[in-house]
Amino acid sequence: MLQVRGLARRFGGVTAVAGIDLDVAEGEFVSIIGPNGAGKSTLFNLMSGLDRPDAGSVRFDGVDVTGARPERLAALGLARTFQHGRVFGNLSVLDNVLVGAHTRLRAARPAVPVLGALLELALAAILPGSVRAEERALRADAEKILAMFGDRLLPRRDQPAFGLSYANRRRVEIARALALRPRLLMMDEPTAGMNETETAEMQELIAGLKARGQTILLIEHKLEMVMRLSDRVLAMDDGRRIAEGPPDAVRHDPAVIEAYLGHASMGQAEAAE
């Protein structure tokens, strides 16, 4: 499904990503680990269209999407969440999730070049039956997604997101990504800043997604979670791949142990074990 070749990105004198290859097959769960500053989030940015690579290529479903804009990738079925959660504070929980479903609109969003946006506005003003029916269906779907988080989000569906707890804002972000019904779901440290209970709950949710066949790419520092969930792990340090393979083999790879020992984040990795 995803094919990354020789991806590279430099910031001034820092080579954040230094020629990464990565394949993700349909239904696979791949995790990316590595100490702070290893280049994990930059790699995500390059793959999801937030940043453009200096070299290398990204193919999604056989289509070359190197340097493509995020909205094109979203339309192709790629959804991501951010390390530092991003939600629309003034929108309700439900509306935040509906934003994620925007690319799924058909009746309300005519696929016409240039005039498409104008037509979309006109349709929003007139609200023909087909558009209303579509909105109802997406709303029902968004509620179904909120229900996946137990009673964390559904009872708060009409509250503005700015009033939510930190953990709930992170959940909303994941709900929004799921509303796209993505073919590939990319999550950057979904449990960062969460306590043990919240982390366990998130792990269970992600395990549930995996069980349903969702293709997932996960960046995560909590190694125990990585070990439990992943089919395959890519370990990075200084922008490079230092190991790749089954979780257990990667965890015990001398290069990985050394990378963590050489960085302050070893404490974090140990704490998670």
Q: Which does 215 bind (CB under 5 to 8 A by kind): Mg ion, ligand ATP, none?
A: none
Residues 81-100 that bind ligand ATP (CB under 6 A): 83
State in angstroms the smallest separation of the CB of 11 from ligand ATP.
3
Dig out the tokens for 253 from the structure.
């790879």
Select the residue interacting with ligand ATP from 6, 11, 84, 136 (CB under 6 A).
11
Is residue 37 a contact residue for ligand ATP (CB under 6 A)? yes
Structure tokens, 175? 């709900």
**Least separation in angstroms between CB 10 and ligand ATP:** 9
State the residues that interact with Mg ion by CB under 5 A.
40-41, 83
CA angle 172, 178, 150 (to 5 degrees): 55
Nearer to ligand ATP, 93 or 256 (CB): 256
42 is a site residue for ligand ATP (CB under 6 A): yes
Closest CA to 47 of 31, 62, 28, 67: 67
Question: Measured between alpha carbons, how far is 19 from 7 in angstroms, rounded to an integer?
Answer: 5
Binding partner at 57 among ligand ATP, Mg ion, none, C-beta below 5 to 8 Å by kind? none
> Does 40 contact ligand ATP by CB under 6 A?
yes
34 binds ligand ATP (CB under 6 A): yes
| Beta-carbon contacts of residue 126 (< 8 Å; ≥ 6 apart) | none
Please report, as a single letter, which amino acid is at residue 216. Answer: I
For residue 236, the SS3 value is: strand
Output the smallest distance, CB 38 to ligand ATP, in A. 4
Strand order in the sheet with 63-64: 14-24, 2-11, 55-60, 63-64
User: Which positions touch ligand ATP (CB under 6 A)?
Assistant: 11, 14, 16, 34, 36-42, 83
